Amino acid sequence: MELYKLNISEARELLDRKELKASDLLDSIYKRIDDIEDKVKAFVTLTKEKAYQMAEVSQRIIDTGKSFPLSGIPMAIKDNMCTKGILTTCSSKILANFIPPYESTVTSRLGDKGYILLGKTNLDEFAMGSSTENSGFFTTKNPWDLERIPGGSSGGSAAAVAAGECIAALGSDTGGSIRQPASLCGVVGLKPTYGRVSRYGLVAFASSLDQIGTITKNVKDSAILMNVISGNDPLDSTSAPLPVPDFTKVLGHEIKGIKIGIPKEYFIEGMDKEVELSVKDAIKKLESLGAVPVEISLPHTEYAVATYYVLATSEASSNLARYDGVKYGFRAEGKDLMDMYMNTRAQGFGVEVKRRIMLGTFTLSSGYYDAYYKKAQQVRTLIKRDFDEAFKTVDVIVTPTSPTAAFKIGEKTEDPLQMYLSDIFTISVNLAGVPGISIPCGFTSNNLPIGLQLIGKHFDEETILKVSYAYEQSTEWHKRRPGI
């Protein structure tokens, strides 16, 4: 077996038994990157020198017999999480030369447990997009079909995991940006409850929606990573002061009697028939494992996309106001200060980012705030209440992750509204702040992955991990890898 095909658990076992050295695993993955990265284009930056330094440190700890959960495990990090002394671009020209002077909490916690940083992965600029076509640098390709998108905005991380260019990765999810690319690339993507994982050092897009999460080869690896990155952080005021359970402890428990909600609003006209069939087959499989399906209603689902794009763009308009060319990042020439501001933002931001800044500025402007932003916040509350009501009768909600499999590069770039609808099944989860996971549940006739989404109660990642693991272990979908 090629070493780059290992998952976290397999690599941990071999490293601890001294059958494998951290540098050997690293050699295998960088060779894999050398072989296919020019086709996949998952990485913005590779940190090879630092990676081998980290591998040396990890190996010394492993040799003492007291290794940490991630000692010697090579991972990729989405390039909107700050890494001290390492380029952090958000795939935007405006941050093309930005080197943070501090470390994000999640990467600091990974470092404390011995991980190895392979590099920073590509994304839609400032995480604004569903296809990675909005990167300011290049489009990442889907390893299952290089003519198709990997999803977004965490497309680089999902493609890297699927293609074996890392053992696991971190992404961020504002409206589905972990789960949707995980679905389209045939891997596991977990968005935790808002507040479960610190956002300190995550470059903000929409602060009330953004959440860091995991992209892995299987459910157990997600649980392992969640044990490391979760927990209260005094540097993040939105981080919840709650104890962190051992997420791996629930894996393998039976799911007999667990009630799974099937929302009628999620099986809509226009959804790909192969996706619908695979998801319904997955529900039958869960039923055969003892889960009890219950039809439920989430009546305000139809307003989720509109609500999300009012709120997210409003927050983006506010958050991105700081990029003015004065303190850091790209600066354009100008005849005076105002001219410099305008030239910097015009040249530094891409089309999609400009579109969202303008939309957000409009919805926050005098005379429109009450009509748009305030109303969107009210609808957000109704969407959250829908979930609260549903979870009074069910333990988990099961839906498709994406209405289609991966579409072709360029297919939707001229129609932003069609692109926004790619997140129709994932957006409500962020608006409500609840956890969601996408796991592989089938393939189309074109051999493209299909994802199943499981949604849980606030801070109940354990239940969605338990149900996901039970499904995963009773099927073979997660074992399939692209032939690239």
- In angstroms, rounded to a whole number, what is the distance separating the alpha carbons of residues 296 and 172? 29
177 as an active site residue: the answer is yes
Of the candidates 131, 177, 230, 402, the residue annotated as catalytic is 177
Of the candidates 28, 58, 71, 78, the residue annotated as catalytic is 78
Contacts of 414 (CB under 8 A, 6+ apart): none
153 as an active site residue: the answer is yes
Q: Count other C-beta atoms under 10 Å from residue 458's C-beta.
A: 18
Q: For residue 109, give both structure tokens.
A: 């916690």
Angle at 32 between CA 28 and CA 37, to 5 degrees: 150
Altogether, the residues listed in the chain come to a count of: 484
Q: Which positions are catalytic?
A: 78, 153, 177
